[in-house]
């Protein structure tokens, strides 16, 4: 068993791992990035299902750390498709000469803390062993696919694909009878694209989700160069405020700031007009035009009714339209979906929606799917059934901290962190966009950059002060977790029954995992901790 020592081991070569590698190298650290896939990109390496694209605008969902990078990279569409985002990740890796720092095809199987000599021992599936002063988990929040516990799933004899583990080779659906299970963001993106080539598509829906139109288009080069002239101001706007890291400016030609409006201050026609304008502009910002949609049930119900009406106007068959109208959760408490022709797809004769709430799925058979009163034959089955989000990758990795404490055990009642950056009992181990930080409720690039900057600055301080160990204090963690829960409870999020709460994974503790107060407030909290001498962290 070979053994190599680095100052920092980074796990994961998605956007977080790439920025860490760049930043740590510029600080003269020795490091190795261990990546399970055969290339960089993380989420965008694995999720290559038909129709995969980002539901955040390209000009915002991109790195800000290099002015040259943001000025020279060309985004072609308002919402970039997966291949373009993957090319961007590859470009970053090449441009900043990060590839020599990354070891691909390497799955980490354990990370074990040794008090003396104060380092992490990291082992891989290939039997390699590394030691590192610090370990940074850049393992992503949606990186462990959740396979549903449906009887007979393994017996299906046709073509079988999981959205988040899509083959690298081209997949065609011509002349095939395709079935898809899952109508979250992934399913809603894949369904119109699969329908475009399949002979027949059956969508098996258990819970409908709210979706808003993307209004995607090719970016106008003149407008982009104008936008890029003000990039620093846009980025500053994204980082500030109590929103999700997209600022208060619509990233659209000729549009100005979006003023926050409270529902009770609006007349009904004014609220409808605001929603209509946002629907036409497209995108997830639809959720932000009435400022308290996620705080005030009355406001939320008004927005729900608006979307229900839209669905009924877009879908011709009233029974299908009714089945597509979500009624079990407030809008936005499950991640809002952003689609291209999703609802319109159901108007095609070869597309059928099966409402599993009315006709339950009994089992998957070698030839298709058995409902209680019908067997639907399929050539191809696609599942887009989500992820063991936020904690899956960390809990599966056999991380052991002080005295052999397993992270799995420390988090048996739900994840516990201080600022989403560290967890008590796991010294010198940082998380990027961990539970307890804005993470999946935010523009991930904004949150990744903030966390990486914070971590690297912390390591710089430790070097200057001749400290070898940092750990989170229990009281600080307790206080932070209480605050995270208090903020969540002030919103409608707990009513969502979503993966934010772990509700999609049987047996997973139900606790609202991300921090819902917005990226600006969170950044201020992190900066205040630093300003007060890293309050809540202990150095040795
Ligand atoms: O997963 P999901 P996803 N029988 O968990 C259904 C991000 N993302 O991969 O709600 C039948 O949202 C399940 O039904 P139900 C984004 O943050 C971003 O789509 O459990 N159905 C649900 O419909 C997103 O929120 C982008 O009743 C079953 C679906 O599977 C997150 O990833 C693109 C079932 C899972 O939906 C996850 O999205 C894609 C069963 N046994 C993803 N088990 C963009 O940026 C599960 N389901 C655009």
Query: 8-28: per-residue pLDDT in tens?
Result: 999 999 999 999 999 999 999
Residue 175 C-alpha to ligand 1 middle, in angstroms?
Answer: 27
Residue 48 C-alpha to ligand 1 middle, in angstroms?
Answer: 15
Q: For residue 243, name the pLDDT band (cuts at 50, 70, 90).
A: confident
Kindly state the percentage of the chain with pLDDT values over 70: 97
CA distances (Å), origin 126, targets 1, 14, 116, 358, 448: 9, 21, 26, 48, 29
| pLDDT reported for residue 2 | 55
Residue 30 has pLDDT above 70, yes or no: yes
Residue 514 C-alpha to ligand 1 middle, in angstroms?
Answer: 17
Residue 416 has pLDDT above 90, yes or no: yes
Mean pLDDT of 271-294: 93
Residue 396 has pLDDT above 50, yes or no: yes
3-state percent breakdown (helix, strand, coil) of the chain, nearest 5 = 35, 20, 45
How confident is the model over 84-130, as pLDDT tens digits?
999 999 999 999 999 999 999 999 999 999 999 999 999 999 999 99
Which residue lies with its CA nearest to atom 37 of ligand 1?
386
Structural domains of the chain in order of their starting residue, each with its CATH number: 5-144+388-485+515-539 (3.50.50.60)
| pLDDT reported for residue 257 | 53
Give the whole-angstrom CA distance, residue 39 versus residue 46: 10
Report which ligand 1 atom has the smallest distance to the Cα of 499: 5
Residue 208 C-alpha to ligand 1 middle, in angstroms?
Answer: 10
| pLDDT reported for residue 261 | 87
316: helix, coil or strand?
Answer: coil
Residue 138 C-alpha to ligand 1 middle, in angstroms?
Answer: 22
Residue 116 C-alpha to ligand 1 middle, in angstroms?
Answer: 43
Mean pLDDT of 215-233: 94
Give the whole-angstrom CA distance, residue 16 versus residue 361: 39
| pLDDT reported for residue 325 | 98
Given ligand 1 and candidates 47, 184, 445, 510, which is best to mutate, with the most ligand atoms within 8 Å of its CB? 184
Residue 145 C-alpha to ligand 1 middle, in angstroms?
Answer: 10
Pairing status of strand 368-371 against strand 361-365? antiparallel
Residue 449 has pLDDT above 70, yes or no: yes
Pocket of ligand 1 (CB under 6 A): 54-55, 142, 148, 150, 181-187, 189, 206-207, 335, 356, 384-387, 440, 499, 504
Which residue lies with its CA nearest to atom 41 of ligand 1?
148
Report which ligand 1 atom has the smallest distance to the Cα of 183: 23
Residue 223 C-alpha to ligand 1 middle, in angstroms?
Answer: 34
Number of alpha carbons in the 13 Å side-chain half-sphere of residue 108: 30
Residue 55 has pLDDT above 50, yes or no: yes
What is the average pLDDT value for the chain, to the nearest integer? 95
Give the whole-angstrom CA distance, residue 421 versus residue 428: 10
| pLDDT reported for residue 251 | 58
| pLDDT reported for residue 283 | 93
Residue 250 has pLDDT above 70, yes or no: no
Report which ligand 1 atom has the smallest distance to the Cα of 54: 45
Given ligand 1 and candidates 86, 186, 207, 331, which is best to mutate, with the most ligand atoms within 8 Å of its CB? 186
Residue 11 C-alpha to ligand 1 middle, in angstroms?
Answer: 25
To 5 degrees, how large is the angle CA 283–CA 139–CA 18? 80
| pLDDT reported for residue 510 | 96
Report which DSSP code applies to 137: E
Given ligand 1 and candidates 61, 206, 323, which is best to mutate, with the most ligand atoms within 8 Å of its CB? 206
Residue 150 C-alpha to ligand 1 middle, in angstroms?
Answer: 15
Given ligand 1 and candidates 156, 386, 443, 506, which is best to mutate, with the most ligand atoms within 8 Å of its CB? 386
pTM of the model: 0.97
Residue 247 has pLDDT above 80, yes or no: no
CA distances (Å), origin 389, targets 142, 155, 337, 445: 5, 27, 17, 18
Give the whole-angstrom CA distance, residue 452 versus residue 526: 12
Contact 143, 392 (CB under 8 A): yes
How confident is the model over 320-367, as pLDDT tens digits?
999 999 999 999 999 999 999 999 999 999 999 999 999 999 999 999
Which residue lies with its CA nearest to atom 24 of ligand 1?
185
| pLDDT reported for residue 241 | 73
Instruction: Give the tokens for residue 118.
Output: 């104060």
Report which DSSP code applies to 289: S
Report which ligand 1 atom has the smallest distance to the Cα of 185: 19
| pLDDT reported for residue 1 | 46
Report which ligand 1 atom has the smallest distance to the Cα of 504: 20
DSSP per-residue string spanning 138-199: ---SS-SB-----TTGGG--SEEEEGGG--SS----BT-EEEEE--SHHHHHHHHHHHHHBS
| pLDDT reported for residue 242 | 73
How many C-beta atoms surround the C-beta of residue 158 within 10 A? 16
Mean pLDDT of 292-309: 97
Instruction: Give the tokens for residue 221.
Output: 């080069």
CA distances (Å), origin 61, targets 57, 99, 337, 473: 6, 22, 16, 33
CA distances (Å), origin 379, targets 32, 150, 204, 205, 365: 44, 18, 15, 19, 12
Residue 254 has pLDDT above 50, yes or no: no
How confident is the model over 178-189, as pLDDT tens digits?
999 999 999 999
Give the whole-angstrom CA distance, residue 377 versus residue 366: 9
Closest listed residue to residue 398, CA positions, set 389, 406, 387, 390: 406
Given ligand 1 and candidates 147, 180, 182, 376, which is best to mutate, with the most ligand atoms within 8 Å of its CB? 182
Give the whole-angstrom CA distance, residue 118 versus residue 112: 11
Which residue lies with its CA nearest to atom 3 of ligand 1?
386
DSSP per-residue string spanning 83-101: HHHHHHHHHHHHHTT-GGG
Report which ligand 1 atom has the smallest distance to the Cα of 53: 48
Residue 250 C-alpha to ligand 1 middle, in angstroms?
Answer: 27
DSSP per-residue string spanning 320-362: HHHHHS--SS-TTSSPPEEESSHHHHTTSTTEEEEETTTS-EE
Give the whole-angstrom CA distance, residue 254 versus residue 269: 24
Residue 159 C-alpha to ligand 1 middle, in angstroms?
Answer: 21
Which residue lies with its CA nearest to atom 8 of ligand 1?
185
Tell me which of 30-39, 236-245, 300-309, 456-465 is least confident. 236-245
Closest listed residue to residue 501, CA positions, set 375, 388, 378, 358: 388
| pLDDT reported for residue 74 | 97
């Amino acid at each position: 068993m070979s053994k190599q020592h680095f100052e920092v081991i980074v796990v994961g070569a998605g956007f977080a791992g790439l920025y860490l590698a760049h930043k740590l190298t510029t600080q003269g650290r020795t490091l190795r990035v261990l990546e399970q896939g055969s290339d960089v990109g993380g989420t965008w390496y694995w999720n290559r299902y038909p129709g995969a694209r980002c539901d955040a605008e390209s000009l915002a969902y991109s790195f800000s750390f290099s002015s040259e990078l943001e000025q020279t990279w060309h985004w072609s569409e308002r919402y970039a498709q997966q291949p373009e985002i993957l090319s961007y990740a590859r470009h970053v890796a090449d441009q900043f000469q990060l590839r020599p720092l990354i070891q691909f095809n390497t799955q980490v199987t354990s990370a074990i803390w040794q008090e003396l000599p104060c380092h992490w021992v990291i082992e891989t599936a290939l039997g390699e062993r590394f030691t590192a002063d610090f370990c940074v988990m850049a393992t992503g929040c949606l990186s462990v696919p959740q396979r549903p516990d449906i009887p007979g799933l393994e017996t299906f004899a046709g073509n079988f694909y999981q959205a988040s583990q899509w083959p690298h080779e081209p997949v065609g659906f011509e002349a095939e009878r395709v079935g898809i299970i899952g109508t979250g963001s992934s399913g809603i993106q894949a369904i119109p694209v699969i329908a475009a080539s399949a002979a027949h598509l059956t969508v098996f829906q258990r819970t409908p989700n709210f979706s808003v139109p993307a209004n995607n288009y090719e970016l106008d080069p003149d407008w982009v160069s104008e936008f890029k002239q003000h990039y620093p101001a846009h980025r500053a706007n994204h980082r500030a405020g109590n929103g999700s890291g997209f600022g208060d400016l619509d990233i659209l030609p000729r549009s100005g700031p979006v003023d926050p409006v409270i529902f009770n201050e609006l007349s009904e026609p004014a609220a409808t007009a605001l929603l209509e304008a946002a629907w036409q502009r497209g995108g997830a910002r639809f959720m932000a035009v009435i400022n308290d949609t996620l705080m005030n049930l009355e406001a939320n119900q008004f927005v729900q009714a608006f979307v229900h009406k839209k669905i009924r106007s877009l879908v011709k068959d009233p029974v299908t339209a009714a089945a597509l109208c979500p009624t079990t959760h407030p809008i936005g408490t499950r991640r809002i979906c952003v689609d291209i022709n999703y609802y319109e797809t159901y108007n095609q004769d070869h597309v059928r929606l099966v409402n599993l709430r009315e006709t339950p799925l009994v089992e998957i058979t070698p030839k298709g799917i058995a409902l209680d009163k019908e067997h639907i034959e399929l050539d191809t089955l696609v599942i887009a059934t989500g992820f063991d989000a936020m904690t899956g990758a960390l809990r599966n990795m056999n991380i052991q901290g002080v005295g052999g404490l397993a992270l799995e055990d420390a988090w048996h009642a739900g994840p516990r962190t201080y600022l989403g950056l560290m967890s008590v009992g796991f010294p010198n181990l940082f998380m990027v966009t961990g539970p307890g930080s804005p993470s999946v409720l935010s523009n991930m690039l904004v949150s990744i950059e903030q966390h990486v900057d914070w971590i690297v600055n912390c390591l710089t301080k430790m070097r200057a002060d001749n400290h070898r160990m940092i750990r989170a204090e229990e009281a600080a963690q307790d206080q932070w977790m209480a605050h995270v829960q208090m903020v969540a409870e002030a919103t409608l999020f707990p009513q969502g029954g979503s993966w934010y709460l772990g509700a999609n994974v049987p047996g997973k503790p139900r606790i609202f995992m991300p921090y819902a107060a917005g990226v600006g407030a969170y950044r201020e909290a992190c900066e205040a901790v630093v300003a007060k001498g890293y309050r809540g962290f202990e150095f040795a």
